[in-house]
Structure 1
Amino acid sequence: MTSTADVSTATAGAGAGPLWLARVRLGAGGPLARVRVADGRITGIWAEEDAGRQLASGEPVFDLAGRTVLPGLWDAHVHLGEWAAARTRLDVSGLDSARAVAEAVRERAQEALDDGVLTGFGFRDGLWPDAPHKDVLDAVVPHVPVALVSQDLHTAWLNSACLALIGRVGHPSGLLREHECLEALAALPEAPVETVDRRIEEACRAAAARGVTGIIDFQYGDTVTEWARRSAAGPLPVRVDAAVYPSYLDAAIERGLRTGSPVDEGAGVVRVGPLKLFTDGSLNTRTALCRDPYPGLGDTPEAHGIQETGTEELVALMRRAAAHGIEPAVHAIGDHANTVALDAFEAVRCRGRIEHAQLLSAADLPRFAALGVTAGVQPRHATDDRDIADRHWAGRTDRAFAYGDLLAAGARLEFGSDAPVSPLDPWLGIASAVGRTGDERPAWHPEQRVPLAAALAASARGRRLVRVGDPADLVVTDVDPREADLTTLRAMPVFATMLGGRWTHGPA
């Protein structure tokens, strides 16, 4: 507990008026406390029995009846536009073959379609007995354009009508991967801006209902400008760090944008995020860049995956961005890709992040801490991809999703979902990190478990405690996470969420 003397050290910030949170627990089994919030910050914390004499006349009090208060949660890797759209699309994530997906498409084709295109999301063909092909879709829906996006966002599966719509008549398979996938999806008809913004608003409010107070948005496009516009339209339910992509880097530099600088005219909710760069593809598409070849593909260069950005170009982009205060966030999934990314950080000597870090060489584990590189990881991927990893990374999974080893090596972890790759729900990631299983099976590589306290901190950008002077970004849970089993942790009941002293979920 802090004393009244601590109040004088609190810094003021923008936010709602004074509010007292009464009868809260700031730790497992700890005594009841009372928290004062003012001007968007925590200005005092007292033991409940000592708070009465500190209560100013007329300041509202909200009784939380012994619920647990934790630092607000962040999702450190989201593609929010894709996630918002995926919430409206045909969900094919649980289907186990190309034919099963085609049947689901046939049923959905009877309904009205947005923009005349039947869109679906979530297929995972890495373990399928049959191959996705345009002919499979043409057989059930020959005339309606169909566009299906894989769970990892690295593959698009289109029928002939959709290929014709985007000018790809004659494509041999309708299965487009990596850059070809991104180009195809960008060519599809776009929803009106009003529709996109409405969906994003709904997705943000759903995230706030799960305790989320901030995200790093890696949606492709002029993300900084888009979020500044949304913030100008009204208060946002979450803080946003908006990523910059290489095609927008020169414009960002000309505007004087720097990672961490606010871009929403004083509100301080939208900030410039990192520069997103790619070294490789993904596990499910077998394009993650690995030292060993994928099984059954021989030992050709292609059998090891792909390098999306050449090493010299990667270093040059990182160096240019860092010189102007924009920190890199480098996508790296395979072990070779992670070495390439870490080598680039060593050459440039700048702060930044590696996104995913799914397969690591033992020699690279200590380099994260030594170079000051944050590992932006998605624990739900470990439980979702365990079977695919067992097949395609056979004999190497002891160093796959190696969060325990990263922690032991001193690395800073920040958890995300990669939504829509997995749902934008931090509790699912926390439970996956703690339990290393997402179903009834035993833990997968339990030696890589993360202690609950570390998992909560990694989901809150390192914040472990509710402290005087911190922003009043808080989550209130009905159950103390430290007393919850895995099932309860995944479905954690969130009573309320506060952002800068205003409720974004729960009490009005």
Structure 2
Amino acid sequence: MRPERFDTVLRHARITGGADSTVDVLIRDGRIAQIAPVIEAGDAVDTEQVDLDGRFLGPGMWDNHVHFALWARTRRRFHVAGASSAAEVCAMVAARVAAEPENDATLVGVGFRDALWPDVPTTEALDAASRHRPVVLISGDVHCCWVNSAAERHYDLAHAGLLRETEAFELQRKLEVEPDDDERIYAVEAGASAAARGTVGIVDLEMADNMRLWVRNCAQGLGLLRVRAGFYEDMFDTMVERGVRTGDVVEKTNGLVTVGPFKIITDGSLNTKTAYCHDPYPGTADHGIITVPPAALEDMLDRATQYGFEVAVHAIGDLANTSALDAFAATGARGSIEHAQLVQPEDIVRFAQLGITASVQPEHAMDDRDAADVLWAGRTDRSFPLADLHAAGARIALGSDAPVATLDPWISFAAAVSRSRDGREPWHPEQQLSREAALAASTCSARVEEGALADLVITDADPMTAEPDVLRRMPVAATLVGGAFTHTRL
């Protein structure tokens, strides 16, 4: 147990984005108390001294859009990402089923992206591959499930085959209530993995009672992250009854967890071809779907404001973004638009004018570039328009949408500044963010300064100069939350 007065001095640190000379940093009571060329050991009962040996000290990284429990489960599930056809996925399922002939538990696979497949995912093909074992395959964007007939019977579904949007989410909720081998182990492993990548905080938008979930997580030893715990419409009345507001500290979480935003999903996704757009999808009259009509969205934002909740509105297509911005303008609600993947030029400036955060996931641009070039042909100059949003003065927050992309802020950072991956040419490089802007969008404070919370990351490379491939695998030496080490290899 730490004594009442416990100081930590980080010696020979190079501040990220600062001068090349080293400094010492004194941490006291969870905050940065002093930064100086040399700091003498004080009168603390105990002082921990850590030599950084010239490593880079920066503000801790945030992932501003995570589905944490789903990410924890997904890390252990059957992965079919990278398959280029329905036939290839079926072959992977058949091999897995054959390797486990005595296992009759539902096989849950994750990661397929069928937008550009040459064949169609069918019930018949999946039934042939899976024999009598229930199979549920969750798409990479989580907005679609491909299920066989055995899963249809097991989960009492309306039909097998492809389930999209609400049907897909309802099935995933059923999967979540089924007991896993050890949910606590999954969560702790996922938290440790995040800390090892320099993550100090997340905005968790899990479809669950997140307040209760994080009280349990903290009680079971997952005290590695700060969490802003969001909620959905089915929890709205419960949150009102609890008398909480966005920003309130959740009891029994050691001050790490606060009440997050009210999440509203208003359209679908690109790969599922349900993102709601001004223009129809190629060869169709289909504009995608709007799950919350404008009048209903305004009512929800009004009610959220009445009870002190910020709002996080999921909007991917440009018409969904227009609708969301209209609702913010009409109600004066505060919060964010999550994703903002396709935005009309006249709407970009409205993010800044209305004070609405663009909560974006740059790695999705790398995952979706080929699909976007086909499904949003002629419009991709305003797809993931990060530089335009920044130039307009909008506040940007970077995230992963884990498990859609990996919970690793450095991957988001690298995608934002390079718009490239796997050696490919940058995709619309005019929309690259500067490193300074990307750092500000990845942290609560882009500066290491006296008085700030000691939520810090120590890296072997300088984020301001490292090549994009180095950024993606950024060597993290240590992570601190409130001055306490949550990860270290020093």
- Where does the alignment leave 5 or more consecutive residues of structure 1 unmatched? 1-13
User: Could you tell me which of 475, 478, 483 is aligned with 1:496?
Assistant: 478
- Per the TM alignment, residue 267 of structure 1 is displaced from its structure 2 partner at its CA by 1.5
* Alignment-derived partner of residue 68 in structure 1: 56
Q: Does 1:419 align with 2:408?
A: no
Describe the superposition over 1:287-325 as per-residue Cα deviations: whole angstroms up to 9, x where unpaired: 00000000011x2xxx00000111111111111111111
User: Could you tell me which of 79, 86, 102 is aligned with 2:90?
Assistant: 102
Q: Which amino acid aligns with 1:487?
A: D
Indicate if the aligned counterparts of 1:142 and 1:160 stay in contact, CA closer than 8 A: no
When residues 319 and 358 of structure 1 are mapped into structure 2, their CA distance, relative to the original with a 3 A threshold, is same
Indicate if the aligned counterparts of 1:368 and 1:374 stay in contact, CA closer than 8 A: yes
When residues 72 and 131 of structure 1 are mapped into structure 2, their CA distance, relative to the original with a 3 A threshold, is same
2-structure distance, mates of 1:75, 1:378: 9
Count of paired positions = 486
Percent sequence identity is: 48
CA RMSD of the aligned region, Å? Answer: 1.9
- Per the TM alignment, residue 354 of structure 1 is displaced from its structure 2 partner at its CA by 0.3
1-structure distance, mates of 2:306, 2:486: 37
Indicate if the aligned counterparts of 1:21 and 1:36 stay in contact, CA closer than 8 A: yes
* Alignment-derived partner of residue 241 in structure 2: 254
- Per the TM alignment, residue 345 of structure 1 is displaced from its structure 2 partner at its CA by 0.4
2-structure distance, mates of 1:190, 1:58: 46
Q: Which amino acid aligns with 1:196?
A: E
2-structure distance, mates of 1:442, 1:507: 35
* Alignment-derived partner of residue 368 in structure 1: 351
Describe the superposition over 1:365-403 as per-residue Cα deviations: whole angstroms up to 9, x where unpaired: 111111110010000011110000000000000100000
Aligned ranges 1:155-170 → 2 under 5 Å? 155-168=144-157
User: Could you tell me which of 446, 457, 462 is aligned with 2:429?
Assistant: 446
Describe the superposition over 1:52-72 as per-residue Cα deviations: whole angstroms up to 9, x where unpaired: 376868522110100001100
* Alignment-derived partner of residue 4 in structure 1: none
Indicate if the aligned counterparts of 1:209 and 1:505 stay in contact, CA closer than 8 A: yes
Describe the superposition over 1:248-302 as per-residue Cα deviations: whole angstroms up to 9, x where unpaired: 11110111111111113371101100000011100001100000000011x2xxx
Aligned ranges 1:99-498 → 2 under 5 Å? 99-109=87-97, 110-111=99-100, 116-168=105-157, 171=159, 174-188=161-175, 190-192=177-179, 195-234=182-221, 236-265=223-252, 267-297=254-284, 299=285, 303-461=286-444, 463-498=445-480
Describe the superposition over 1:210-267 as per-residue Cα deviations: whole angstroms up to 9, x where unpaired: 0000001111011111112222333511111111111111110111111111113371
What's the TM-score, normalizing by structure 1? Answer: 0.92
What's the TM-score, normalizing by structure 2? Answer: 0.96
* Alignment-derived partner of residue 47 in structure 1: 37
When residues 399 and 164 of structure 1 are mapped into structure 2, their CA distance, relative to the original with a 3 A threshold, is same
When residues 422 and 212 of structure 1 are mapped into structure 2, their CA distance, relative to the original with a 3 A threshold, is same
Q: Does 1:33 align with 2:29?
A: no
2-structure distance, mates of 1:464, 1:52: 27
Indicate if the aligned counterparts of 1:16 and 1:40 stay in contact, CA closer than 8 A: no
Q: Which amino acid aligns with 1:484?
A: A
Q: Does 1:22 align with 2:14?
A: no
Indicate if the aligned counterparts of 1:332 and 1:356 stay in contact, CA closer than 8 A: yes
* Alignment-derived partner of residue 85 in structure 1: 73
- Where does the alignment leave 5 or more consecutive residues of structure 2 unmatched? none
Q: Which amino acid aligns with 2:368?
A: D
2-structure distance, mates of 1:220, 1:227: 13
When residues 271 and 419 of structure 1 are mapped into structure 2, their CA distance, relative to the original with a 3 A threshold, is same
When residues 479 and 115 of structure 1 are mapped into structure 2, their CA distance, relative to the original with a 3 A threshold, is farther
2-structure distance, mates of 1:194, 1:240: 25
When residues 96 and 266 of structure 1 are mapped into structure 2, their CA distance, relative to the original with a 3 A threshold, is closer
2-structure distance, mates of 1:376, 1:473: 21
2-structure distance, mates of 1:58, 1:185: 49
- Per the TM alignment, residue 483 of structure 1 is displaced from its structure 2 partner at its CA by 2.4
Indicate if the aligned counterparts of 2:7 and 2:46 stay in contact, CA closer than 8 A: no
Q: Which amino acid aligns with 1:43?
A: A
Indicate if the aligned counterparts of 2:339 and 2:359 stay in contact, CA closer than 8 A: yes
Q: Which amino acid aligns with 1:87?
A: R
- Per the TM alignment, residue 16 of structure 1 is displaced from its structure 2 partner at its CA by 8.4
| Runs of 4+ deviating beyond 4 Å | 53-58, 112-115
